[in-house]
Structure 1
Amino acid sequence: MYRRGVRPVRNGGEPGSRHRRESPERSAGPPGAGPGRPPALRPPLPAVRGPSRQEAIYGRPATAAEPHVSPARAALRGSGWLWWLLATVAATQTTLNLCRPLISYRSVALGADAFAVGLITAAFALLPLVVAVPLGRLSDRLRRTAWIVAAGITLMALAPLLLAASQRLATVAAGSAVLGLGHLTFMVAAQRMIAQRSGEDALDRNFGLLTATAALGQLVGPLLSSLLLGDASSDGGLEAATRQALLVAGATAALGLPAVAGLWSAKRPTTADGGSAALPLADLLRRPGVPTGLFTSLALLSAVDLLTAYLPLIAEERGISPAVVGALLATRAGASIASRLLVDLLVRRWPRHLLIMGSTLGSAAALGAVAVPASGTAAMAVALALGGFLLGLGQPLTMTMVVRAVPPETRGTALSLRLWGNRVGQVAIPAAAALVAGSAGAAGALWFVGAVLLAATKAVHSSAARHR
């Protein structure tokens, strides 16, 4: 049935025929607009906008479930290089955390006192403070960083051999410095490789896997050290025991070298970003999110160090045995591994800056709960489980925060600057905490680092608000 006065034109109907054509003006509009009626308005297209400065640095949560493949699943495709890299991380981090206590025992076996042990420990961070940024610059200029990974592993395999052969404290200090240089070289290259080869949606996931594997090495290394040394003491074969254990450490690092072949044969990144001019350090530090990321990273790392150093003293004051202290620290480490494995799921649910603030604020509260004199073993275990989860969450997020705040051609430099800041923080914050602990007791050190974490929370909130 046709509308009144309008019938379809047959055979092209000429003007004046009994089947007249509807005028274009009257027929304009979508179907359903009758003659003489104004055409229906189409709904405006939604505005398309790019990410804000805050979203570029801190990310934004995903909305409702989308039909396409999730970022995590997409990141798993074509990331064979990542598993080779994680194999090298496992080898080097186990070596590092096996060697660190062995260096102290080796020093004691050669007659070192507490002051000498402190100097030898400081030698570990000496060379990294000098070469961190130049190494980052070098990694930015290269499309392939696999050979820097290999160089770092080689140094970490040679350092234990030098330590095993040492008969003088100066040689032990030199071996400690070489170990620190190898570790920094490896970490700069490994973090740069993730920043270079990962898509923007996979950065949190891949940095989370990197730090989770490193935390696993922090668990395994000291256990190996205890097993290898056994009941050796300074009066009964400690020198020979440390020599054998250090040889095992060198072999453990060398296990990472075959995995470098997988990194070398992996497909090159599709984009080359090494040809651009290097950004001055002052300009990097002025980039929104960079100073906040550096400060938050060193605050979280120093909190872990101070907790490890002062928890035994707090436990001794409360009559808690060393075995229980070991279990508490293992609880903290295990919770950190869990949070780093879940970081990709969490960052797709909440904005990155809220997760970082939760990490620092919650960690401060957990450390405060441990420091409260009335806290018993059960309360400390709960606090350390929660605090370990939150302490572990912040590190990979600050890596992504720093990486997304700088141009792609300077990501290696920014990450090396972050590592440099971590080393500075590992010296400055414990030194300040020692002054507080001298007057307020061991718990005062945890109160102090809790205040540093609160300051980091404020810094993240202010940075996110300024660049929203």
Structure 2
Amino acid sequence: MRATAALLCHAFLLQLAAYVVRPTSAYRAIELGVDPRMVGLIAASFALLPLVVAVSIGRWNDRGNVGRSLVIGGVLMTGAGLGVHLWSRSLTSLLVWNAVIGLGHLLAIVGQQTLVARLGRERLDSAFGTYTFVGSLGQAAAPLVLTVVGGSAVLPDTGLLFAIYTVTCAGLLAVTFLLPSPGNPDRRPARGDSLRSALRVPPATRRTMTGAMLLSMLVLAAVDLIQVYLPALGVERGIPSATVGILLSVRAAATMASRLGLARLTTRLGRTRLAHVSTLVAGAAVGALAAPLPVWAAGVLLAVAGFALGIGQPLSMTIVTTAAPAGTTSTWLALRLSGNRVGQSLVPAVLSAFTAGIGTGGVFLVTGIGLLGTAAMARVLISDDP
């Protein structure tokens, strides 16, 4: 029980740290006079380095290095916290430190998900639902930190926020040494096993894996875009940073609610139908944020979007874990995370290039349309109860 509590605490601190530093980086960029159209590059830098090494980290974890992955991830995030706090006075330095943070985050999260997959095999929907619920709790707490630090100012004290991030990462590193032993995988791959052999699965399984990964990628990209562009939208429309923090907390709290009830929703609707319906609802709600709405209406839409977007991530983890052949769970989970990083890097970068033409509100409209297309794709590719 104590080890499980340590794992959930680790998940909370990891998400709290990530969701403090990323909007803070956006605010620091605006503070430095960076064109708001370039803010999306910060989200892309967080994903770029992990994109290259994610699958290799997964294979490394499958060979029994889960503990090392967690420790190294904590060290990188803490060290980069010092860097972003002390040496981030240009867009280039912000991009570099966010890339290091992204790599540390990847190492830590692959280790976390591998632990959950091995410790909760009998009730995967419930295990991943609880795990992502606690992560969402960290995501909800992060905007509250922005609210307390920012107050009524449009631009908060970014130096203080970066210091809070660094202290949080130090706590994360300390908790790492209390985590449960990952145990032995079903089949530890031999050193000579190739990545190609690990990814060789039947066609039906490959379609399901592809659908789950694309669903995860687009859903996470949408969450990231809300996280990064809502502060920019707030600055554009004169919304105080404290109010933006509350809106982000509403989204995160709704996500928590959906994840806490994930097992029941899956039992009632089935995984394929749940993936389809939740992504449809999310697309409609996110797209509607483009309209010039009063703050209370935006809060309602973010609550709906948060609830629907909260389902895709844990559901995709369950699908991938269930379908992965023995001895390849970490590899497939890392490949899923690699797909997430593609979405996190390409989608914001592409939208940054077009922000001048479509405006910040247009980013939300385009994101909503993308989610609607993802919903249709998930219905076709993901097999029922894989």
- Tell me which interval the TM-score lies in, with the shorter structure as reference length: 0.7 to 0.9
Match of 1:289? 208
Q: How does 1:336-351 map to 2 (within 5 A)?
A: 336-351=255-270
Q: CA deviation at 1:231?
A: 8.8
Q: CA deviation at 1:441?
A: 4.5
Match of 1:91? 13
CA distance in 1, matches of 2:17, 2:246: 22
Match of 2:251? 332
CA distance in 2, matches of 1:103, 1:442: 18
Q: CA deviation at 1:351?
A: 0.9
Match of 1:223? 144
Q: How does 1:25-40 map to 2 (within 5 A)?
A: none
The one of 97, 100, 116 equivalent to 1:194 is: 116
CA distance in 2, matches of 1:134, 1:288: 22
Question: Gaps (5+ residues) in structure 1?
Answer: 1-78
CA distance in 2, matches of 1:321, 1:107: 17
Match of 1:70? none
CA distance in 2, matches of 1:358, 1:402: 19
Match of 2:81? 160
1:335-384 superposed Cα distances (whole Å, 9 cap, x missing partner): 101111111222233311111112111112222444456x5555443333
Match of 1:416? 334
Which is worse superposed, 133-142 or 91-100? 91-100
Cα contact 2:258–2:308 (8 A) shared by 1: yes
Cα contact 1:136–1:188 (8 A) shared by 2: yes
Cα contact 2:147–2:245 (8 A) shared by 1: no
Structure-2 change in CA distance of 1:315 and 1:122 (3 Å): closer
The one of 449, 452, 457 equivalent to 2:375 is: 457
Cα contact 2:270–2:385 (8 A) shared by 1: no
Amino acid in structure 1 at the alignment position of 2:131: L
Amino acid in structure 1 at the alignment position of 2:222: A
Amino acid in structure 1 at the alignment position of 2:307: F
1:387-431 superposed Cα distances (whole Å, 9 cap, x missing partner): 211111121001111222221311111111111111111232234
1:47-68 superposed Cα distances (whole Å, 9 cap, x missing partner): xxxxxxxxxxxxxxxxxxxxxx
CA distance in 2, matches of 1:104, 1:315: 12
Q: How does 1:201-240 map to 2 (within 5 A)?
A: 201-225=122-146, 227-228=148-149
Amino acid in structure 2 at the alignment position of 1:81: A
Structure-2 change in CA distance of 1:433 and 1:106 (3 Å): closer
| Residues 1:448 and 2:363 are matched in the alignment | no
1:132-185 superposed Cα distances (whole Å, 9 cap, x missing partner): 11101101111x612321221122112112333327646554433321111111
Match of 1:177? 99
Q: How does 1:245-256 map to 2 (within 5 A)?
A: 245-256=161-172
Amino acid in structure 2 at the alignment position of 1:365: A
Match of 1:268? 183
CA distance in 1, matches of 2:62, 2:45: 27
CA distance in 2, matches of 1:156, 1:362: 34
CA distance in 2, matches of 1:402, 1:378: 37
Amino acid in structure 1 at the alignment position of 2:72: A
Which is worse superposed, 209-218 or 434-443? 434-443
Match of 1:405? 323
Structure-2 change in CA distance of 1:258 and 1:347 (3 Å): same
1:261-306 superposed Cα distances (whole Å, 9 cap, x missing partner): 3325x4735x542136455176369523111111111111122233
Aligned sequence identity (%): 36
Structure-2 change in CA distance of 1:278 and 1:461 (3 Å): same
Structure-2 change in CA distance of 1:87 and 1:291 (3 Å): same
Match of 1:18? none
Q: Which structure has more RCO (C-alpha within 8 Å, separation ≥ 6)? A: 2
Which has the higher Rg, Structure 1 or Structure 2?
1
1:196-248 superposed Cα distances (whole Å, 9 cap, x missing partner): 2221x4212222222222222223234335545779999xxx9xx65554344
Amino acid in structure 2 at the alignment position of 1:360: T
Cα contact 1:279–1:410 (8 A) shared by 2: no
| Residues 1:298 and 2:244 are matched in the alignment | no
Amino acid in structure 2 at the alignment position of 1:334: A
Secondary structure class of the residue paired with 2:328: helix
Cα contact 1:433–1:444 (8 A) shared by 2: no
Cα contact 1:288–1:405 (8 A) shared by 2: no
CA distance in 2, matches of 1:171, 1:437: 23
Structure-2 change in CA distance of 1:466 and 1:394 (3 Å): closer
Q: CA deviation at 1:458?
A: 1.7
CA distance in 1, matches of 2:287, 2:97: 37
Match of 2:22? 100
The one of 371, 377, 383 equivalent to 2:301 is: 383
Instruction: State the TM-score, normalizing by the size of structure 2.
Output: 0.83
CA distance in 1, matches of 2:280, 2:301: 13
Structure-2 change in CA distance of 1:362 and 1:222 (3 Å): closer
**How many residue pairs are counted as aligned between the two chains?**
379
Structure-2 change in CA distance of 1:242 and 1:348 (3 Å): same
| Structure 1 vs Structure 2 CA RMSD | 3.6
